[in-house]
Chain A
Amino acid sequence: MSTTIDVPESSSHNVSKGKAATIVAPKRPGGWKKGVAIMDLIVRLGTLGSTIGAISIMATADQTLPFFNQFVQFEASYDSFSALQFFVVTLALVCGYLVLSLPISIVAIVRPHAPGPRIFLIILDTIFLTLASSAAAAAAAIVYLAHNGEQDPNWIAICNQYGTFCMETSEGVVIAFLAVVSFIIMIITNTLALGKH
């Protein structure tokens, strides 16, 4: 049996030039991509919190020893070490980026199927992931040296004297690595949402 499909004529009177509103595209259900975008926003807020925490802990890491010594300086603060200064400045940049990326993340929630905001977020997240992990790793190298010292160049482990300073800087480094891990989670979820239909 053959099939006949009838396409009825549209009356020329009914056809009117409607100005199709370009903005009002038919909305598809968000589905899992919307859930991914909401999770991205939540993780982004968490990362923001942890970078602020890392900066504040590191910037307030300061210890003055109560005794006098002719040869050894008796105050240790984060600006005694260039790597820790780099840490604070770079994490401040990352924190600023996270604040500015919150609106884009919200756009990704509202328009889950648009690739634009997600690609933007992925690319910028990757760049700032690089910055954040370099800051955390440089500070970790210095904190490791402060804890253990290095025998051959005769670098003394200062943590034996500056206990509080060491503890605070170590905490800052750990929180910064948490921020790095959450950056990775954000990028992976955004890529999965971008790549799969």
Chain B
Amino acid sequence: MSTTIEVGESSSRKVSKEKTPLIGAPKRAGGWKKGVAIIDFILRLGAIASAFGAAATMAMADEVLPFFTQFLKFEASYDNFTAFQFFVISMAFVGGYLVLSLPFSIVTIIRPHAVGPRLFLIILDMVFLTVATASAAAGAAVVYLAHNGNQDSNWLAICNQFTDFCQQTSGAVISAFVSVVLLLFLVIMTAVALRSH
């Protein structure tokens, strides 16, 4: 049996030029992409806290020893170390970027199937992941030197005297690595959510 499909004529009088609103696109169910976007938002808040926490802890790391020595300086602060200065500035940048990316994250919750915001977020997240990793690693290298020193270049381990300073800087570096891990999760989740079906 053959099948006949009849397409009825639309009366030319009934056809009116309606202005279709651009914003009112039919909404599809968000599904798992919406869940990913919500987790992304929450992780982003966590990353903001750890990035700013790292910058603040490092900036407040300061210790003054109560005794005098002729050769060794008796105050250690973050701005005695170039790597720590770089650390504070770049973790502040990472934290600032994460705050500015919150609206985009909210847009991905509202429009889970839109590709644009996610693409924007994943590329910038990756760039700032690199910045955060670099500053955390440079800070870690100097903290390691402060803890252990280096025999061959005759660099003394200052942590033996400046214990509080060492503790604060180590804590800042750990917090920076937490933000690196969170940013890594953000990038991976956004990549999975970008997958088109």
A contact residues vs B (CB 8 Å cutoff): 1-9, 71-73, 75-76, 80-83, 115, 119, 122-123, 126-127, 129-130, 133-142, 144-146, 148, 150-156, 158, 180, 184, 187-188, 191-192, 194-197
Contact = CB atoms under 8 A, between A and B. Distances in A.
Contacts of A139: 141
Interface string B19-51: 000000000000000000000000000000000
B66 interface: no
Given A130-B129, A195-B196, A75 B152 contact: yes
A136 B134 contact: yes
A155 B180 CA distance: 29
Given A1-B9, A152-B76, A187 B126 contact: yes
Interface of A, helix, strand, loop or mixed by DSSP: helix
B9 A129 contact: no
Given A119-B192, A137-B135, A73 B151 contact: yes
Interface stretch (B92-100, B101-109, B183-191): B183-191
B167 interface: no
Nearest to B151: A73
Nearest to B131: A133
A76 B188 CA distance: 40
B144 to A, nearest CB: 6
- Which residue among A4, A134, A146, A154 has the maximum number of chain B CB atoms within 10 Å of its CB? A134
B123 A191 contact: yes
- Which range holds the interface residue count of chain B? 35 or more
B163 interface: no
B154 interface: yes
Contact of A194 (B2, B7, B187, B194): B194
19 contacts: A2-B7, A3-B7, A4-B5, A81-B150, A123-B192, A129-B126, A129-B129, A130-B133, A133-B137, A134-B140, A137-B138, A138-B140, A142-B145, A148-B82, A152-B75, A152-B81, A153-B73, A184-B127, A195-B196
Nearest to B10: A2
A7 B145 CA distance: 80
Contacts of B129: 126, 129-130
Given A133-B133, A137-B135, A153-B158, A7 B6 contact: no
Contacts of B123: 188, 191
B137 A138 contact: yes
Contacts of A119: 191-192, 195
B68 interface: no
B16 interface: no
Given A73-B153, A148-B82, 13 more contacts: A4-B5, A6-B2, A9-B1, A123-B192, A126-B129, A133-B130, A133-B134, A133-B137, A137-B135, A151-B73, A152-B81, A153-B156, A191-B119
Nearest to A3: B7
Contact of A80 (B5, B130, B150): B150
B115 interface: yes
Contacts of B188: 123, 126
